[in-house]
Structure 1
Amino acid sequence: MPNYRQIILLLTLLLSSQVFLGAQDNIREQLEAIAIIDQKVMMPMRDGIRLATDIYRPKTDQPVPIIFSKTPYNFNSWGDGEERTRTYQRAIEAVKRGYAYVVQNERGRYFSEGKWDILGPPTTDGYDAFSWMKNQEWSNGKIATLGCSSTAEWQMAVAALDHPAHAAMVPQGYGAGVGRVGRFHEQGNWYRGGAQQMLFTAWLYGVQNDEFRPRIPEGATQEDLIRISRFFDLAPEMPRVDWSEGLAHLPVQDIIKNQHGSKGIYFDMIRRKPNDPAWYKGGLYHDDMPFGVPSFWFASWYDVSTGPNLELYNHVRNNAKDPEVANNQYLVIAPTLHCAYTRATENTIVGERSVGDARLNYDEQIYAWFDYWLKGEKNGFLEETPKVQYYTMGSNKWQHADTWPPESAKMTTYYFSSGGQANSLYGDGRLSLQPTKGSKPDKFAYDPMNPVPSYGGNVCCTGNAVQGGAFDQQVMETRHDILVYTSEPLEEGIEVSGFIESTLYVSSDAKDTDFTIKIIDVYPDGTAYNLDETIQRARYREGYDQEVFMKDGEVYKLEMTPMSTSNYFAKGHRIRVEISSSNFPRFERNLNTGGNNYDESKGVIAHNTIHHSADHPTQIRLPIVQSSAASPTSSRRD
Structure 2
Amino acid sequence: MLIPPEFAPNFKPSLTQSVTVSSSIRRNIPIPMQDGVRLATDLSFPAEPGRYPVLLERTPYGKHQSVMVSIGAPEFLAANGYVVAVQDARGRFASEGIWYPFRDEAWGTHKDGFDTVEWLATQDWCDGQVGTFGGSFAGFNQYLHAGAPSPHLRAMFARQAACSLRDEWIYRGGAFELGFLLMWAARNSLEALRNRIAQIERICLEGQLDFLRYRPAVKNPLLSDPFDWIKDNLQLQDDEGYWKQFDVSPFHETFTVPTYHLASWFDIFLGGSLRNFIGMRHAGGSAEARRRHRLTIGPWMHGPRTDSELDGRKVGEVDFGPDARWDYKGEMLRWFDYVLKQKPNGFNKQPAVHYFVMGLNCWRTADDWPPPSVSYKEFYFDGRRSGSAASLNDGSLSWTPGDQDAPPARFLHDPNQPVETVGGNTLYSLTIQQPGESLGWKELNAEAGSRDQRTIEDRCLTFTSEPLDADLEVTGPVHARLFISSTAADTDFVVRLTDVFPDGRSMLVCDGIQRARYRESNYRPTLLDPGNVYELTVDLWATSYVFRQGHRLRAIVNSSSFPRFDVNPGTGESAATATGMVNAENTVYVDRERRSHLVLPVGA
**Shorter-chain TM-score range:** 0.7 to 0.9
Match in the other structure for 2:481:
503
Please tell me whether residue 179 in structure 1 is matched to residue 146 in structure 2: no
Matching residue of 1:595: 573
Offset of 1:288 from its aligned partner?
4.8
* SS in structure 2 at match of 1:278: helix
**Which one of the candidate residues 86, 104, 109 is aligned to 1:103?**
86
Aligned partners of 2:319 and 2:201: how far apart in 1? 53
Shift in CA distance, 270/445, structure 1 to aligned 2, threshold 3 Å: same
> Match for residue 352 of structure 1?
317
Q: After the TM superposition, which residues 315-334 of structure 1 pair with which residues of structure 2 at under 5 Å, given as runs?
A: 315-320=279-284, 324-334=288-298
- Is this contact kept in 2: 1:173–1:300, CA < 8 A? yes
TM-superposed CA distance for 1:272, in Å, is 1.6
Q: Who is 2:342 aligned against?
A: 376
* CA RMSD, Structure 1 to Structure 2 (Å): 2.8
Deviates more, 1:321-330 or 1:407-416: 321-330
Residues 419 and 441, structure 1, Cα contact 8 Å, conserved in 2:
no
User: Alignment partner of 2:104: what SS?
Assistant: coil
SS at match of 1:70: strand
| Cα deviation code 1:445-485 (max 9, x no counterpart) | 10000001001111113444961011111121122xx1000
Bigger drift between 165-174 and 355-364 goes to 355-364
Give the aligned partner of residue 525 of structure 2. Answer: 547
AA partner of residue 623 (structure 1): P
Alpha-carbon shift at residue 287 of structure 1 (Å): 3.3
> Which residue in the other structure is 2:265 paired with?
301
Task: Kindly state the Cα deviation for residue 277 of structure 1 after the two structures are TM-superposed.
Answer: 1.8
Give the equivalent residue in structure 1 for 2:549. Answer: 571
Which residue number corresponds to residue 156 of structure 1?
143
Tell me the CA shift for residue 211 of structure 1: 9.2
Report the Cα distance in structure 2 between the residues aligned to 1:420 and 1:161, rounded to whole angstroms: 56
Deviation at 1:215, TM superposition (A): 2.4
What residue number does 1:446 align with? 413
Is 449-458 or 556-565 further displaced after alignment?
556-565
Alpha carbons 1:68, 1:146 under 8 Å: kept: yes
**2:214 matched residue in structure 1:** none
Q: CA deviation at 1:68?
A: 0.5
The 1-side partners of 2:302 and 2:53 are apart by: 29
Q: Which one-letter code corresponds to 1:169 in the other structure?
A: M
Kindly indicate whether the alpha-carbon contact (under 8 Å) linking 2:489 and 2:570 is maintained by their aligned counterparts in 1.
yes
Question: In percent, how many aligned pairs have the same letter?
Answer: 32
User: Which position in structure 1 is the counterpart of 2:393?
Assistant: 427
1:115 paired residue among 84, 98, 121: 98
Partner of 1:418: 383
Query: How many angstroms does 1:265 deviate by?
Result: 2.4
C-alpha distance after superposition, 1:482-529 (max 9, x if no partner):
100000000000111110121100001111111110110111111110
CA distance in 1 between counterparts of 2:143 and 2:569 reads 35
Give the TM-score of the pair, scaled to structure 1: 0.80
SS in 2 for 1:128: helix
Does residue 1:192 correspond to 2:172, yes or no? yes
Unaligned 5+ segments in structure 1 are 1-20, 79-83, 181-185, 225-260, 630-638
Deviation at 1:321, TM superposition (A): 6.1
Task: Name the SS for the 1:92 alignment partner.
Answer: helix
Match of 1:474 among 454, 459, 474: 454
Q: Please give the TM-score of this superposition, normalised by the length of structure 2.
A: 0.84
- Counterpart of 1:139, as a letter, is C
Alignment-derived partner of residue 369 in structure 2:
404
State how far apart, in whole Å, the 1-side matches of 2:194 and 2:308 are.
40
Report the Cα offset of residue 406 of structure 1: 1.6
Identify unmatched segments of 5+ residues in structure 2. Answer: 1-14, 207-224, 432-443
Amino acid at match of 2:584: A
Question: In the aligned structure 2, how far is the partner of 1:85 from the partner of 1:313?
Answer: 22
1:43 aligns with 2:31: yes
CA-CA distance at 1:431 after TM superposition: 0.4
2: CA distance, partners of 1:286 / 1:359: 31
Mapped partners of 1:560, 1:85: distance in 2: 35
Give distance in 2, aligned partners of 1:292 and 1:274.
31
Report if aligned partners of 1:508, 1:608 keep a CA contact under 8 Å in 2.
yes
Match of 2:186 in 1: 205
1:287: which partner in 2?
Answer: 250
Alpha-carbon separation, structure 2, partners of 1:74 and 1:190: 22
